[in-house]
Amino acid sequence: MNKKLNTTQYILQGGVWWYANCGFSHRSSVSFGQERSSKSAPTTCTNRYLKARCGYAHRPSGQGIILRYEVIKMDDYKNFAQDYEALNPKEEIILQRDFFSQIIEKYNVKTCLDCACGLGWHLYMINNLGVKSCGSDISPEMIDICKDNLRGTNIELRIEDYCKLSETWERKFDMILCVSSALNHMLEDEDIIRALDSMYERLEENGIVVMFSGISDLLARSRPKLIPARTYQDEAIYHIIEYFDDRVVFNILDVKKTKDSFTHSLNSMTLSLLTKARFERCLSRTKFANVNIFGDFDFSMYSEDKSNRLFAILQK
């Protein structure tokens, strides 16, 4: 009997099994039929844009055996794209205008690529500041909405992984954005470095990467389980957060009021905890010449205990 038949039989014989939507690194040694503690499932890693589903069966010893291991493409935003505007709305992003106009002036920015552009509101704002802007994102669903949002502008949009920017963008840019925790989709140091290298490569001489992330030291230290992320009159969005070593699982619960009840939608995604120490460790393995880390839109000092976000300007 071959291994596959054996496994099928094992399921049919009544082993308890389930799909854990945990991911595996492409470097991980997980393979069909491998023994694993079932407890390790949620902490097992993902890589930058692939996830894996794995099926487990418990044995009486408490060990799990991986029955199936199937790699699928990153689809965190497939269903979430339509709800994303409510979480990070245009009005909120436009408030960052002054921050970006100061950067544009200081670094003499004439061209910009937002390499995780999402629904496109940073592009809209920066284009309006007179900077020739382009955008890309790995999620076709986000890019579809982005195209609608940017209709009537001449902003070029593409679907691309920010780890492979040179494959899509032939030209170079004065400024590349990777903001609103977009870099936290890279779960391992190697992937963070690969993403930063890809951005570095598409920069003009002295060009800059601008990033900011809310998943940093303060979150790692305070470990809130529940964050009411947005509340509107008829909608509330909650983050219910689970913590693992160097990553978190964000369960994003969107509750909408109907006439006489509520609707609920839940999207979960795994993101890396990008503390200052970890980010600096990654940066030390890149070629950026100048690194400026700060703690708010007013460029004030970063504090591990107090800053809600970690900001960085990385210069080539």
Ligand X SMILES: C[S@@+](CC[C@H](N)C(=O)[O-])C[C@H]1O[C@@H](n2cnc3c(N)ncnc32)[C@H](O)[C@@H]1O
Distance (Å, whole) CA 266 – CA 256: 12
Considering the rule CB under 6 A, would residue 181 count as an interface residue with ligand X? yes
Give the shortest CB-299-to-ligand X separation in angstroms.
19
The CA-based dihedral angle spanning residues 279, 121, 76, 215, taken in that order and rounded to the nearest 10 degrees: 30
Site string for ligand X, 84-103 (x = CB under 6 A): ----x---------------
Considering the rule CB under 6 A, would residue 163 count as an interface residue with ligand X? yes
Using an 8 Å Cβ cutoff, are 65 and 40 in contact?
no
Q: Please identify, using beta-carbon distances, which residue of 167 and 280 lies nearer to ligand X.
A: 167
Q: Please identify, using beta-carbon distances, which residue of 54 and 252 lies nearer to ligand X.
A: 252
Candidates 54, 116, 203, 248: give the one binding ligand X (CB under 6 A).
116
Q: Please identify, among the stretches 3-11, 64-72, 135-143, 235-243, the one whose residues bind ligand X according to the rule CB under 6 A.
A: 135-143
Closest to 266 (Cα-Cα) out of 228, 239, 244, 232: 239
Angle, vertex CA 107, rays to CA 106 and CA 112, nearest 5: 125
Give the shortest CB-242-to-ligand X separation in angstroms.
18
Considering the rule CB under 6 A, would residue 196 count as an interface residue with ligand X? no
Cβ count within 10 A of residue 271: 23
Distance (Å, whole) CA 236 – CA 199: 35
Identity of residue 123: L
User: What are the strands, taking DSSP E only, across the chain?
Assistant: 17-20, 35-37, 50-58, 63-73, 111-114, 132-137, 156-159, 173-178, 203-213, 226-231, 235-243, 247-257, 262-272, 290-294, 310-315
Q: Please identify, among the stretches 134-142, 197-205, 233-241, 288-296, the one whose residues bind ligand X according to the rule CB under 6 A.
A: 134-142
Considering the rule CB under 6 A, would residue 48 count as an interface residue with ligand X? yes
Q: Please identify, among the stretches 21-29, 62-70, 109-117, 216-224, the one whose residues bind ligand X according to the rule CB under 6 A.
A: 109-117
Q: Please identify, among the stretches 132-140, 241-249, 297-305, 308-316, the one whose residues bind ligand X according to the rule CB under 6 A.
A: 132-140
Considering the rule CB under 6 A, would residue 188 count as an interface residue with ligand X? no
Cβ count within 10 A of residue 95: 10
Q: Please identify, using beta-carbon distances, which residue of 66 and 155 lies nearer to ligand X.
A: 155
Considering the rule CB under 6 A, would residue 271 count as an interface residue with ligand X? no
Q: Please identify, using beta-carbon distances, which residue of 137 and 188 lies nearer to ligand X.
A: 137
Considering the rule CB under 6 A, would residue 20 count as an interface residue with ligand X? no
Closest to 161 (Cα-Cα) out of 202, 195, 210, 187: 195
Give the shortest CB-67-to-ligand X separation in angstroms.
29
Candidates 55, 64, 118, 135: give the one binding ligand X (CB under 6 A).
118
Q: Please identify, using beta-carbon distances, which residue of 117 and 313 lies nearer to ligand X.
A: 117
Burial letters for 214-241: b for 16+ Cβ neighbours within 10 Å, e otherwise? bbbbbbbeeeeeeeebbeeeeebbbbeb
Considering the rule CB under 6 A, would residue 138 count as an interface residue with ligand X? yes
Closest to 136 (Cα-Cα) out of 110, 98, 167: 167
Candidates 77, 100, 169, 279: give the one binding ligand X (CB under 6 A).
77
Cβ count within 10 A of residue 20: 18
Q: Please identify, using beta-carbon distances, which residue of 56 and 84 lies nearer to ligand X.
A: 84
Q: Please identify, among the stretches 180-188, 215-223, 255-263, 274-282, the one whose residues bind ligand X according to the rule CB under 6 A.
A: 180-188
Considering the rule CB under 6 A, would residue 265 count as an interface residue with ligand X? no
Distance (Å, whole) CA 55 – CA 97: 47
Using an 8 Å Cβ cutoff, are 282 and 189 in contact?
yes
Cα end-to-end span (Å), the chain: 58
Point out which residues bind ligand X (CB under 6 A).
48-49, 77, 88, 115-118, 122, 137-139, 142, 161-163, 179-182, 185
